[in-house]
């Protein structure tokens, strides 16, 4: 009885403590002491665990396991000694990439922990968001790249790509284990495979080598609803399956929908392995604490590439620099461990400073529109052609049928409770009137909010026996992106408001009405063309309208950073790939096995897959060397040999095209064949990145040490952010003449002499010395770059440095600068 009373008193004490302490949040805490990846020894009884970049860490070794256990124990001991048991919950111990933990506690406890010995930094958790076929041919992979890796049957073989996303649908053929050419084991990858709690089957099959989910922070925040979300690696969204298939999906998978085959799908590296780290969920996205735990685990497991089609909702607010936060710090440690990281740029375009990927050690990917467009048209009875979007068959026999608007097909007054004009509810419309006609529907805000869909219109029209449907946009919705949607019956979306007016005028003038305004005869006719086949254009690629733009920002006040972002452009518009049938991310593809989706989320896995091909050919290359190869060989011209263009808004919010700048597309459009053999690379080490962080004006050097885990040293003195040896140059405030250096390293088997050329507008002078360099195999050469502000315009000037080799190699380094007094 006494024990029960004591237990009750303890429970009451904990509850009182919680009430006094107030609302709890998730916090990420970093500690003094090195994580596993950089521990050089020094703690008695624990040998060093760090290895050189060209060595492989054995994560199963006793040294790694014991030191990791030591760090976890230290985290627990600190919390137990400072906080009352039951008033907090430790969610994760981070030990591989950063030394720290995630804990659910009150703001008072967080403040108390900040002052504790051994604690370097405490930061409240924040949310992350998703950044939401033909492209292998468009990029030249089947003929120019896959043969160099042993053909498509070996492209990306045994390279492991980790996907930090919404999980995977393992039953999809894009992720099937080949029976004729099975996937062998990858001994160096140590990731685990969770079991499906419903089927009790493993999520792994040889193609999928790891599958884990991370949701402790989401659960602690009260965001995780077990009735809606899957507490497993199963993809309940569709996004994760789509991105994994783009990068590493099996080759030659038929894309079938509504009885039509749209082609064969393939990942960029079809023999690469898939490792799943689920952090995104249907209702709320995800949390940084879960993402950091996933990244830490992925690198510990032994992935080669990390694909991040996720990003923060805004620049970090808790530190003075955009680059100093637990998310980017974990990725810096991943790069230090030899893992290449590709991240989506964001979908905030075409407006400037909308990037959500900031740091120079990350490859930030913008989204391009490739050469394939799905367009269609409607032919009216008066002979007018109205263009629109519609991936659908033509009306039967290519004939015309009578038009009837949803407003004229209403069933009595029952529609007053619902909006029937967007054709989402067939029970509100008169089947006898609609049957055999083309149903004319309105486009409401419900389509933008996601409560209405083109797929539902198609289902409504089919159930009513309509010959087809038209969805007409009557009002402009600034920022709305209209994508064609595959449907099973003839259908078209008219997005041009002026064309909609023509259609409505024709319909009204041709419809006979009685004295009360009721339609009695439908004389307007129309025919819908076949929109199933895409049209190919030479004016590709273009920067997609939605793709986030630079310049990069160095802090939450959105001051320009001396780092060029994005880094590169890859296809990200209307990308066909695998989908989870239970996915909810796109209502138009509910229940389907494939989806055609747009976003920088789709662009990033193109780069991840291509990086896997480079890694397969050059397994010893560092992540920065792979990034350099991708950037310096990128195309700055489209298929028609014209300068790349970017989709933009005019003052009247109409879409137009303008010449793309590096703030739109970075170094240009990815060229996989050239990236496999760049000739030269610009490499950077972990120490270089730390020096970069320390060189940022007004940065708190203790923050660098606390968050990045390495202290500033004497090498940082006098350095500037643009001194970092990366394949781009950005100077946000160019005063007078600025001189900097870049070091190029040969990755060719032959000696090559490079002639150096420059291009820059007259407002800024650009000079490089020497004018030519000869580089021996494996050797490095330094070039000096001088930029001089000739005039102050208040705008950036864009140029490039080109190095043309006498054995056929050509690399380009984009240069951006703004002259200041």
State the catalytic residues.
Answer: 165, 239, 601
Question: How many whole angstroms separate alpha carbon 492 and alpha carbon 393?
Answer: 10
Annotate 664-711 with DSSP letters as a single string.
HHTT-B--HHHHTS-SEE----HHHHHHHHHHSTT--HHHIIIIIS--
**Cβ within 8 Å of residue 729, ≥6 positions away:** 564, 722, 740, 742, 785, 787, 801, 813, 814, 815, 816, 817
Question: How many whole angstroms separate alpha carbon 263 and alpha carbon 256?
Answer: 8
CA distances from residue 102 to 155, 217, 297, 472 in whole angstroms, order as listed: 39, 8, 14, 50
Q: Please provide residue 744's backbone torsions phi and psi, each rounded to the nearest 5 degrees.
A: -110, 145
Annotate 531-560 with DSSP letters as a single string.
-SS-EE-SS--EE-TTS-----BSSTT-PB
**Cβ within 8 Å of residue 743, ≥6 positions away:** 682, 683, 725, 780, 781, 782, 783
What are the structure tokens assigned to 415, written together? 């529609």
**Cβ within 8 Å of residue 48, ≥6 positions away:** 39, 40, 41, 63
For the chain, the first-to-last Cα distance in angstroms comes to 81
- If one counts every other C-beta atom within 10 angstroms of the C-beta of residue 16, the result is 11
CB 357 within 8 A of CB 549: no
In degrees, rounded to 5, the angle at the alpha carbon of residue 482 between the alpha carbons of residues 477 and 488 is 135
Question: How many whole angstroms separate alpha carbon 226 and alpha carbon 265?
Answer: 33
Question: How many whole angstroms separate alpha carbon 253 and alpha carbon 273?
Answer: 17
**Which strand (E) or helix (H) includes residue 369?**
strand 363-369
Secondary structure of residue 195 in the 3-state scheme: strand
């Amino acid at each position: 009885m006494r024990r029960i009373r004591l237990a009750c008193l303890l429970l009451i004490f904990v509850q009182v403590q919680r009430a006094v302490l107030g609302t709890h949040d998730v916090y990420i805490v970093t500690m003094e002491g090195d994580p596993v990846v950089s521990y050089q020894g020094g703690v008695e009884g624990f040998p060093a665990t760090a290895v050189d970049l060209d060595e492989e860490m054995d994560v199963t070794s006793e040294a790694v396991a014991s030191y990791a256990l030591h760090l976890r124990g230290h985290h627990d001991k600190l919390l137990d000694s400072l906080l009352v048991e039951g008033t907090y919950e430790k969610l994760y111990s981070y030990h591989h990439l950063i030394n720290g933990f995630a804990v659910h506690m009150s703001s008072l406890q967080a403040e108390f922990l900040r002052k504790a010995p051994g604690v370097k930094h405490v930061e409240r958790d924040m949310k992350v968001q998703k950044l939401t076929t033909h492209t292998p041919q468009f990029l030249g992979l089947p003929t120019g790249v896959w043969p160099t890796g042993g053909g498509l049957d070996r492209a990306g073989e045994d390279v492991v790509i980790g996907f930090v996303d919404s999980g995977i649908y393992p039953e999809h053929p894009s992720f099937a284990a080949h029976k004729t050419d099975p996937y062998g084991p990858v001994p160096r990858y140590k990731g685990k495979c969770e079991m499906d709690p419903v089927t009790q089957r493993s999520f792994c099959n040889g193609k999928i080598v790891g599958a884990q989910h991370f949701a402790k922070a989401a659960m602690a925040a009260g965001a995780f609803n077990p009735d809606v979300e899957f507490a497993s690696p199963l993809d309940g969204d569709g996004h994760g399956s789509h991105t994994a298939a783009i990068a590493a999906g099996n080759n030659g998978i038929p894309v079938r929908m509504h009885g039509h085959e749209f082609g064969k799908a393939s990942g960029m590296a079809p023999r690469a392995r898939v490792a799943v780290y689920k952090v995104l969920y249907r209702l709320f996205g995800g949390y940084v604490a879960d993402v950091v735990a996933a990244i830490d685990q992925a690198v510990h497991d032994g992935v080669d590439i990390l694909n991040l089609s996720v990003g923060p909702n805004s620049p970090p607010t808790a530190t003075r620099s955009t680059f100093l936060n637990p998310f980017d710090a974990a990725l810096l440690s991943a790069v230090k461990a030899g893992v290449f990281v590709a991240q989506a740029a964001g979908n905030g375009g075409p407006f400037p400073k909308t990037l959500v990927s900031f740091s120079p050690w990350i490859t930030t990917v913008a989204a391009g529109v490739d050469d394939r467009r799905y367009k269609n048209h409607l032919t009216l009875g008066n002979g007018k052609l109205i263009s629109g979007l519609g991936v659908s068959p033509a009306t039967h026999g290519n004939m015309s049928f009578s038009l009837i608007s949803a407003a004229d097909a209403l069933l009595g007054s029952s529609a007053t409770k619902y909006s029937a004009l967007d054709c989402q509810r067939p029970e509100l419309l008169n089947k006898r009137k609609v049957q055999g006609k083309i149903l004319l529907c309105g486009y409401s805000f419900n389509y933008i909010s996601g409560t209405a869909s083109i797929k539902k219109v198609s289902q409504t029209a089919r159930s009513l026996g309509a010959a087809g449907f038209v969805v007409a946009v009557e009002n402009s919705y600034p920022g709305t992106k209209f994508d064609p949607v595959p449907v099973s019956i003839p259908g078209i979306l008219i997005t041009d408001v002026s064309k909609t007016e023509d259609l409505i005028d024709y319909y009204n003038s041709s419809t006979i009405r009685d004295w009360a305004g009721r339609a009695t005869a439908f004389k307007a006719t129309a025919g819908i063309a076949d929109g199933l086949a895409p049209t190919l254009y030479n004016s590709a690629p273009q920067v997609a309208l939605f793709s986030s733009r630079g310049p990069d920002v160095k802090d939450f006040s959105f001051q320009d950073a001396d780092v060029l972002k994005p880094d590169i452009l890859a296809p990200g518009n209307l990308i066909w790939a695998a989908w989870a049938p239970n996915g909810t991310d796109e209502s138009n593809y509910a229940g389907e096995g494939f989806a055609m989706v747009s976003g920088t989320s789709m662009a990033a896995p193109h780069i991840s897959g291509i990086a896997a091909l480079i890694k397969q050919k050059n397994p010893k290359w560092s992540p920065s060397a792979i990034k350099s190869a991708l950037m310096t060989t990128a195309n700055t011209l489209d298929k028609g040999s014209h300068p790349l263009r970017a989709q933009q808004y005019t003052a009247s919010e109409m879409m137009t095209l303008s010449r793309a700048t590096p703030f739109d597309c970075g170094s240009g459009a990815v060229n996989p064949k050239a990236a496999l053999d760049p000739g030269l690379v610009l490499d950077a080490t972990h120490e270089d990145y730390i020096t970069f962080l320390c060189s940022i004006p007004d940065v708190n050097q203790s923050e660098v040490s606390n968050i990045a885990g390495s202290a500033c040293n004497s090498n940082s003195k006098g350095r500037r952010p643009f001194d970092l040896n990366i394949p781009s140059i950005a100077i946000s405030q160019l005063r007078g003449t600025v001189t900097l250096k870049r070091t190029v390293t040969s990755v060719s088997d032959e000696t090559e002499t490079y002639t150096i050329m420059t291009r820059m507008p007259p407002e800024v002078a650009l000079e490089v010395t020497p004018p030519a360099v000869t580089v021996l195999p494996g050797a490095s050469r330094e070039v000096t770059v001088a930029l001089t502000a000739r005039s102050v315009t208040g705008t950036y000037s864009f140029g490039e440095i080109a190095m043309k080799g006498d054995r056929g190699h050509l690399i380009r380094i984009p240069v951006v600068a703004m002259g200041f007094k």
